[in-house]
Amino acid sequence: MTSQQKILSSDRILSIPRVDIDDLECSICRGLLWKPVACQSCETPFCSSCIHQWLVDHPKHCPNRCETYIERKCPPFVAKLLAQLNMHCFYRSYGCNQVTSYEGLDKHEIECGFQPRQCPGCKSQILKKDFDNHTSTCPSIELTCQNCKLVFKRADLNQKHTEIICLKEQIRQLQYESKEYKREIHELNLQLDEMRIMNPSITETKITFNDLQGTADNCYRIPAQYRGLEWTGMNYIHKSFAIKNHPTSGYATSFMPNGSSYIAYFRGEASVSVKNPDEIFTLFSVTACAAWNDNLQLIITGYRDVLEIKKHTVTLLFGKPQFILLHWEDIDKVTFVSSGGTAHPGSGSATGPQVILTQITMDSLE
């Protein structure tokens, strides 16, 4: 039913036609028929919601004790009488003076601007037509800073989220992230040391894209046969190109001090695989960040002989390369798929699922 009432009351009828209103009454709820259907045997009409609930408790049995309930359309004369009714809106008590036909009641009440809605901040009941204006100024609404992620009420903006507080919180988060990266790197190094002891032939390869060729005036596709692997959907750019052409993007901030002058990137999907079917490799780690969006989701999947054997999902930060520890052994292909996220404040109107890769660490092909 369109109304918030459990029963559509006949009191809402503006003018009653020259008929017995009892003919328009549902024998289950005793209210005005709403979207009626009827029993094929006795032709008694019921609200569709009422009879369907009845049948849950009394399967196949008609309320009038017919042998078997078989549903049919409402008798035409009942539908014709209902169509003649003009109804007050359910939200009349909230100020709506709209009178609409029975058939138009559903659409009107769904769209009615006098519906009460609860403000998530002050918990007051606000009319739908005033809701957006109210929530845009309500002092009790909680806001989230896009830079430091602190949550605070609008009324506390000048006390709990000053520019200094915001910067201090960002620094604190960066320090925490730095500690986490160092811990993960330490764990990976311990694992690599253990692997080298057990298998001295393992040679770690760090791909930082610094051996690629190109000028600072363009972006390039990574060669399909780069570093003995098959690369699909992957591009690269020089640091100067990123800073000159995309100064407010994550490209410009992703370059590490004393690191490579090149970064790889892709949009949506990319892959790296072996050239020969008898080759395999171990993928130790990936260092990545988002170029335009905050909270960009990256799904990394490892394959062996077309079968998926590993999967890892991570949420990337804007322009801040993060270390992703994997240690996937004996794979022959890895895919990267990105999606979601929201545009980073300060990056202009640009948005998209572009992912930056600053380093891929793997062993030599076997």
- And the tokens for 343? 């545009």
DSSP state of 228: G
- And the tokens for 267? 């949009």
Q: How many helices (H) and strands (E) does the chain have?
A: 8, 23
d(CA 69, CA 76): 19
pLDDT tens readout for residues 322-355: 989 888 999 999 999 999 999 888 776 678 999 9
Predicted local distance difference test score (pLDDT) of residue 7: 82
Give the DSSP H or E segment for 355: strand 354-363
Predicted local distance difference test score (pLDDT) of residue 11: 84
| pTM of the predicted structure, to 2 decimals | 0.51
Give the DSSP H or E segment for 236: strand 235-238
Three-state DSSP class for residue 356: strand
pLDDT tens readout for residues 213-267: 877 788 999 998 999 999 999 999 999 999 999 999 999 999 988 889 999 999 9
DSSP state of 139: T
Task: List domains and CATH numbers for the chain.
Answer: 10-115 (3.30.40.10), 139-202 (no CATH), 203-363 (2.60.120.1350)
- Residue 61, classified by CB atoms within 10 Å of its CB into exposed (0-12), middle (13-18) or buried (19+), is middle
